[in-house]
């Protein structure tokens, strides 16, 4: 039995296996209304996209990344990666925002939240 445990330990160390239980909870899209965040599913073309989520069970060196996509929007190729941003943190509330110097084209958008390079949550939303 000890030999099996030793082999498993060697394999997981050699393969870079991680036992992290970090996860995303309560992810949603929001807008700033007088300093408070209000959950939304639709944005107007001139708004800042805000994604907020709770990172739980995470060590302090956990990397959370937001990847913003135009899934199907006027004048933009399908599933176009607009931007991405990362933050390194432990269990905490995380916020990502995306603004544009021009009006957002109407259509469907998505933000993928990754925890240590693994997709943990995807949220689709609309611009009208």
The DSSP code sequence of 4-58 is HHHHHHHHHHHTT------EEEEEEEEEEETTEEEE-SEE-TTPPEEEEEEEES-
Domain positions in the chain are: 20-127
The answer to whether 24 and 115 have CB atoms below 8 angstroms apart is yes
pLDDT tens, N- to C-terminus, the chain (128 residues): 433 333 333 333 344 444 568 999 999 999 999 999 999 999 999 999 999 999 999 999 999 999 999 999 999 999 999 999 999 999 999 999 999 999 999 999 999 999 999 999 999 999 99
* Class of the domain covering 20-127: mainly beta
- The residues near 39 (Cβ < 8 Å, ≥ 6 apart) are 28, 29, 30
pLDDT of residue 21: 87
- The residues near 22 (Cβ < 8 Å, ≥ 6 apart) are 55, 56, 57, 58, 59, 62, 91, 115, 116
């Amino acid at each position: 039995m000890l030999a099996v445990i030793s082999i498993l330990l060697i394999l997981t160390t050699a393969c870079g296996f991680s036992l992290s239980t970090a996860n995303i909870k309560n992810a949603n899209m929001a807008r700033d209304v007088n300093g408070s965040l209000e959950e939304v599913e639709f944005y107007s073309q001139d708004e800042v996209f805000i994604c907020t989520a709770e990172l739980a069970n995470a060590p302090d060196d956990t990397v959370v990344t937001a990847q913003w996509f135009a899934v199907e929007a006027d004048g933009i190729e399908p599933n176009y990666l607009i931007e991405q941003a990362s933050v390194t943190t432990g269990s905490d509330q995380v916020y990502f925002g995306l603004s544009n110097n021009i009006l957002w084209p109407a259509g469907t958008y998505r933000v993928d939240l990754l925890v240590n390079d693994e997709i943990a949550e995807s949220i689709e939303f609309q611009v009208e």
